[in-house]
A = this chain, B = another copy of it.
């Protein structure tokens, strides 16, 4: 039973800021370039949180690794999220050919974490403790580092506190936590390390979600920033589907109404977004 109840005159709108951000584009290019040079190339963990891009890279000889104990490592790529100081030191020590594809904005956040620690601040990282970017940031932030997200209880703090923020966090969560902290300390130094493109993508997607009947968010199910886009749309009560590829547009996915919005995370490649757009356009034409 087909469940598409999209109007014949339905409008399909795609977000301008959907898809690869600067840091992801740079990292994926670096991986394809490394593969061209003919070495065995590995990435430490999936290069970005998008399974389809990881598969494409395998086709040209770039393989993700879980750890550094595997034999036969020649060239190793540090992914966009960056790595902890320990891992960075280990990579140097092992003498691999290291390609550092850490997003420059993440690199900057790591430097600020170290700077705050060196200046004697207790460092708070606003972000998700499970995320590899935060894991890397923590290693630079000193022993008394605290990771806080929107649901966390604020523990007792020292008098002099520094704050940095995971580059893909929503600005409202960051502002709320800064406001809570400032009332409880004597001195606060904050680096707003939220990546501008994340902020703009969230805003554009939110505005779009307010105007459409159904939202399609395209990107890795393991991508935090894509999942965040889907959660944002659901929070304003629009029917929202988070899919990885056009193949997921099937009978279970109900496209209702006159306006369908499409947005995508920072790790979603253009070709997947295009496939989704085309499939929806074809449904509209009755060409399924």
The interface of chain A, by Cβ under 8 A from chain B, is: 171, 174-176, 178-180, 182-183, 185-192
Q: Which of B174, B186, B192 contacts A186, CB < 8 Å?
A: B192
For residue A192, which residues in chain B have a CB less than 8 angstroms away from its CB? 182-183, 185-188
CB of B187 within 8 A of CB of A182, answer: no
Partner of A183, one of B171, B180, B183, B189: B171
In the bound complex, do residue B182 and residue A178 qualify as a contact, i.e. CB atoms below 8 Å apart? yes
Measured between beta carbons, the chain B residues less than 8 angstroms from A175 are 179-180, 182-183
> Which 9 pairs show the lowest CB-CB distances between chains A and B?
A179-B179, A188-B190, A175-B179, A178-B182, A189-B189, A175-B183, A171-B183, A186-B192, A187-B191
User: Considering the chains assembled together, what is the distance between the CA atoms of A191 and B161 in angstroms?
Assistant: 11
A183 to B186, CA, bound (A): 20
Q: Which of B179, B186, B191 contacts A191 (CB 8 A)?
A: B186
Count identical subunits in the complex.
Answer: 2
Can you sample 12 A-B contacts with CB below 8 Å? A175-B179, A175-B180, A176-B179, A178-B178, A182-B190, A182-B192, A183-B192, A185-B192, A186-B192, A187-B192, A188-B192, A189-B189
User: Which residue of chain B has the shortest Cβ distance to A172 in the bound complex?
Assistant: B183
Q: Which of chain B's residues have a CB closer than 8 A to the CB of A188?
A: 178, 188-190, 192
What is the chain B residue whose CB lies nearest that of A185? Answer: B192
CB distance from A6 to the nearest CB of B (A): 37
* With A174-B183, A178-B178 already in contact, 12 other A-B pairs whose C-beta atoms are closer than 8 Å: A171-B183, A175-B180, A175-B182, A175-B183, A176-B179, A179-B179, A182-B190, A187-B189, A187-B192, A188-B189, A188-B192, A190-B190
Instruction: Tell me the complex Cα distance, A204–B182, Å.
Output: 21
CA distance A278 to B48 in the complex (A): 74
* Distance (whole angstroms) from the CB of A154 to the closest CB of chain B: 13
Residue from B178, B186, B187 within 8 A of A179 (CB atoms): B178
